[in-house]
Structure 1
Amino acid sequence: MDHKGDILSGGFADPVFESQGVFRKLMDGMAQPGTIHVADARVKPPAPLGKAAGAVLLTLCDHDTPFWMNGELAKSGVPGWLSFHTGAELETDKSGARFAVFEAGAALTSLGLFSVGTQEYPDRSTTVLIEVAALDGGSPLRLTGPGIRDERQIAPQGLPQAFLHMWAENRLAFPRGIDVILTSGDSFLCLPRSTRIDLMEN
Structure 2
Amino acid sequence: MTLHANLVSSAGLPDPVLSSQSVFRSVMNALAGPGSIQAIADTVHAPSPLIQATAAVALTLFDHDTPVWLDNHFAGVPAISEWLRFQSDAPLTVDTSRASFALIHCGTALPDFETFALGTPEYPDRSTTLVVQLDTLTEGPELILCGPGIKGTASLRAGALPPDFVERIRANRALFPRGVDLLLTCGAKLVALPRSTHVTVKGA
Normalised to the residue count of structure 2, the TM-score between the two structures is: 0.93
Q: Residue in 2 aligned with 1:195?
A: 197
RMSD: 1.6
Distance 1:170 1:143 in 2: 14
Which residue is equivalent to 1:35? 36
Q: Structure 1 counterpart of 2:122, which letter?
A: E
CA distance in 1, matches of 2:42, 2:50: 15
- What displacement does 1:133 show? 0.6
In structure 2, runs of 5+ residues without a counterpart are none
Q: Quick one: which amino acid aligns to residue 100 of structure 1? A: A
1:165 to 167, 192, 196: 167
Summarize deviations over 1:110-129 as a string: whole Å, max 9, x none.
Answer: 11110011111101110001
Deviations 1:152-172 (A, max 9, x none): 000112123232221111111
Task: Report the 3-state secondary structure (helix = DSSP H, G, I; strand = E; otherwise coil) of the residue aligned with 1:89.
Answer: coil
Deviation at 1:105, TM superposition (A): 5.2
One-letter identity of the residue aligned with 2:82: G
Moved more, 157-166 or 137-146: 157-166
* Superposition misfits of 4+ residues, deviation over 6 angstroms: none
Aligned ranges 1:103-122 → 2 under 5 Å: 103-104=105-106, 106-122=108-124
Contact 1:7 1:78 in 2 (8 A): no
**For 1:102 and 1:120, how far apart are their aligned partners in 2?**
28
Counterpart residue number, 1:46:
47
SS at match of 1:24: helix
- 1:30 positional shift: 0.6
User: Number of aligned pairs?
Assistant: 201
Q: What residue in structure 1 maps to residue 8 of structure 2? A: 8
Q: In the TM superposition, what are the counterparts of 1:118-137 in structure 2 within 5 Å?
A: 118-137=120-139
Cα offset, 1:90, TM superposition: 1.1
**Native 8 Å contact 1:141 1:153 kept in 2:** yes
1:174 deviation in Å? 0.3
Which amino acid in the other structure matches residue 162 of structure 2? P
Contact 2:108 2:160 in 1 (8 A): no
1:64 match: 65
Verify the 8 A CA contact 1:6 1:46 in the aligned structure 2: no
CA contact (8 A) 1:134 1:158 kept: yes
TM-score (norm 1): 0.94
Greater shift, 29-38 or 73-82, is seen at 73-82
**Alpha carbons 2:107, 2:159 under 8 Å: kept:** no
Judge conservation of contact 1:23–1:59 (CA < 8 Å) in 2.
yes
Which consecutive unaligned segments of at least 5 residues does structure 1 have?
none
Match of 2:109, SS? coil
Shift of 1:6: 4.5
What is the CA distance between 1:104 and its match in structure 2?
2.0
C-alpha spacing 1:3/1:195, structure 2 compared with 1 (3 Å): farther
**Which string of whole-angstrom CA distances, capped at 9 and with x for unpartnered residues, describes residues 71-98 of structure 1?**
0101112121111001002110000000
